[in-house]
């Protein structure tokens, strides 16, 4: 949809988004025979499968279940009222819908070919991209690398901490490798200061020295946490690659997808002898 936004004015863009979504929902709901209804507006229904499918999509990332359901209900009510008022036959609506067909089809086709070809950067490509663009990955806040372990038993957490004070992390961990009281284990964890939660954990980590072990913290009800600080990195420093590898990979993936699409279009032009002309105003 971001692609379409460049070609439409703000108000028209939102009108198209609203009605394309509504038309999709309206058409599907009339044909399907859902086994479990979540919501219903007249004959239009929302099923459990519909909700799960929608929430798994990237465009709905961060949207809560109830928020999506409420939005669906509002959209259905407005769409049905608009249809009753004849808006689907309105010239402006039809004109806007026709003008977006090519952009929408192109966007969906691009997504299809990209998904099918799975353009993934290699580790060597990721390293090279990071080395050539290090300044883009400067830390926007202080960062901390630390070991973290959580128990559901306070006494076990105390025992582990005492063991850790006498030896190094891996040796202490080996003694508890099969312990059922361990509920979470994250060695070599890397987080920016603002990402560390809850506040009690943040306060402790920021006061630890390198290799120092924290006291046992009840970070959540019946979750007893022990952390060991490994490294502090100051704001505006360039972090090691392993700390920002996911971000580097994501950015490089966008670059590679753009390059792939350009090469794909160039190949279509060559294979089909397409004539592409531009005219100056």
Secondary structure in 3-state letters for the chain: CHHHHCCCCHHHHHHHHHHHHHHHHHHHHHHCCCCCEEEEECCEEEEHHHHHHHHCCHHHCCCCHHHHHHHHHHHHHHHHHHHHCCHHHCHHHHHHHHHHHHHHHHHHHHHHHHHHHCCCCCHHHHHHHHHHCHHHHCCCCCEEEEEEEEECCHHHHHHHHHHHHHCCHHHHHHCCCCCCCEEEEEEEEEEEHHHCCCHHHHHHHHHCCCCCECCCEEEECCEEEEEEEEEEECCCCCCCHHHHHHHHHHHHHHHHHHHHHHHHHHHHHHHCCCCCCCCCC
| Beta carbons of 22 and 75 less than 8 angstroms apart | yes
| Beta carbons of 97 and 16 less than 8 angstroms apart | yes
In the chain, % of residues over pLDDT 90: 59
| Tokens describing residue 141 | 């806040």
Report which of residues 11 and 174 the model is more confident about: 174
d(CA 195, CA 207): 16
76: pLDDT strictly greater than 50: yes
pLDDT mean over 155-163: 95
Residue 29, C-beta contacts closer than 8 angstroms, at least 6 positions apart: 43, 44, 45, 46
d(CA 93, CA 86): 10
67: pLDDT strictly greater than 80: yes
Report which of residues 86 and 8 the model is more confident about: 86
173: pLDDT strictly greater than 50: yes
257: pLDDT strictly greater than 60: yes
251: pLDDT strictly greater than 80: yes
pLDDT mean over 88-103: 87
113: pLDDT strictly greater than 70: yes
Q: What is the mean pLDDT of the chain?
A: 86
- Whole-number pLDDT of residue 5: 36
178: pLDDT strictly greater than 60: yes
- Whole-number pLDDT of residue 190: 87
- Whole-number pLDDT of residue 18: 52
- Whole-number pLDDT of residue 278: 84
């Amino acid at each position: 949809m971001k692609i379409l936004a460049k070609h439409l004015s703000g108000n028209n863009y939102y009108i198209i988004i609203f009605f394309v979504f509504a038309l999709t929902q309206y058409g599907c709901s009339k044909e399907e025979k859902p086994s479990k209804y979540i919501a219903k507006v007249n004959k239009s229904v929302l099923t459990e499968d519909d909700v799960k499918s929608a929430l798994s999509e990237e465009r709905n990332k961060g949207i809560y279940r109830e928020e999506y359901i409420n939005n669906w209900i509002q959209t259905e009510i407005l769409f049905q009222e608009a249809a009753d008022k004849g808006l689907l036959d309105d010239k402006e609506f039809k004109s806007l819908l026709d003008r977006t067909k090519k952009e929408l089809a192109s966007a969906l086709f691009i997504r299809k070919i990209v998904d099918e070809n799975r353009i993934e950067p290699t580790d060597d490509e990721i390293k090279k991209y990071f080395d050539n663009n290090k300044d883009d990955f400067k830390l926007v806040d202080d960062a901390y690398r630390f070991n973290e372990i959580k128990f559901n038993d306070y006494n076990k957490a105390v025992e582990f901490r005492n063991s850790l004070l006498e030896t190094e992390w891996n040796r202490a961990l080996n003694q508890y490798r099969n312990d059922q009281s361990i509920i979470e284990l994250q060695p070599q964890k890397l987080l920016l200061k603002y990402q560390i939660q809850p506040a009690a954990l943040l306060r402790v980590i920021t006061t630890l020295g390198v290799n120092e072990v924290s006291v046992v913290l009840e970070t959540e009800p019946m979750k007893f946490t022990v952390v060991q600080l490994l490294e502090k990195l100051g704001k505006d420093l360039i972090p090691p690659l392993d700390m920002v590898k996911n971000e580097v990979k994501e950015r490089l993936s966008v670059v590679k997808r753009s390059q792939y699409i350009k090469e794909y279009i160039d190949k279509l032009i060559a294979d089909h002898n397409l004539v592409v002309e531009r005219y100056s105003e």
